[in-house]
Amino acid sequence: MVEQLILTFAEIEFVLRSRPDQAEAVRAQLRINPEASSDIVVAAGVASLLARGLCTMAGTEEVAPTDPIIAATAALATSRTHTEAVGWVGEQTVLVHLYTGSSAGIAVYPVAFGQFSVELLNPAEPLVVPVTRFLDACGAGEGEAAVAIRSTTGDEPEVSIAIARDGEGTWYVSDSLESPDKGVPTTRDGVLQRLTDLLGPRPAEARG
């Protein structure tokens, strides 16, 4: 992880202006209202970023983003793979969107009231590394655990994976390629191997 920050949906809209060709898809993935793409919402995002010191004025009319916003913008602008994972930490449902590319990566966690917790990722890490961190957070302690993952790169078919652990500690995995309709008993190591098989061992970049 490089840095973590909280961004509002309006601030996210400012970041999305750097990738207009994919902004609609990202907005849909993050469940942001399409009407948020308006100029007035983007202006509100800019004002908020300026007030928080995440952007600065360059002259009288230009806005210069600071390093965290530049990094978040680069990650969204260059991402080729979108991975969505949902699980439970205690009784709380947790959702994360991972956007990864050849030079940057970002994890986006929706939180309350139109805010997003943003974690900048190390692009040298394989995609399976942040996915495993999420799995470990959901599976901390003993007892039952469950995580569902789906991932798409470019125009390639979506890959989906369901992972569960029962009360006795037995792991199960089901995926869209080999066992889409039932969980296969395995071990944690078996789960990690299947994640690597499906998500790829390469750094967080486009597969293929």
pLDDT number for residue 96: 97
Q: Please say if the pLDDT value at position 1 is more than 50.
A: no
* Structure tokens given for 52: 């928080």
What is the reported pLDDT for 204?
A: 44
Structure token digits, residue 69: 């916003």
> 117-139, pLDDT tens digit by residue?
999 998 889 999 999 999 999 99
Residue 201: pLDDT band by 50, 70, 90 thresholds?
low
Residue 16: phi, psi to the nearest 5? -70, -20
Report DSSP letters for 59-111, one per residue: TTTEEEE-HHHHHHHHHHHH--EEEEEEEEETTEEEEEEEEE-SS-EEEEEE-
- Residues above pLDDT 90, as percent of the chain: 69
pLDDT of 116 reads 97
In the prediction, which pLDDT does 2 show?
43
207 — pLDDT class (breaks 50, 70, 90): very low
Residue 112 in tokens: 């309350």
Mean pLDDT of the chain: 90
Asked whether residue 17 carries a pLDDT value surpassing 90, the answer given is no
State the greatest distance between any 2 C-alpha atoms of the chain, in Å, as a whole number: 64
For residues 39 and 33, give the distance between their C-alpha atoms in angstroms, rounded to a whole number.
14
Give residue 144's pLDDT.
Answer: 93
Q: How confident is the model at residue 199 (pLDDT cuts 50, 70, 90)?
A: very high
Name the phi and psi angles at 12, rounded to 5. Answer: -60, -40
What per-residue confidence (pLDDT) applies to 6? 95
Question: Where are the chain's structural domains?
Answer: 4-199
- For 60-89, write each residue's pLDDT tens digit: 788 999 999 999 998 888 888 999 999 998
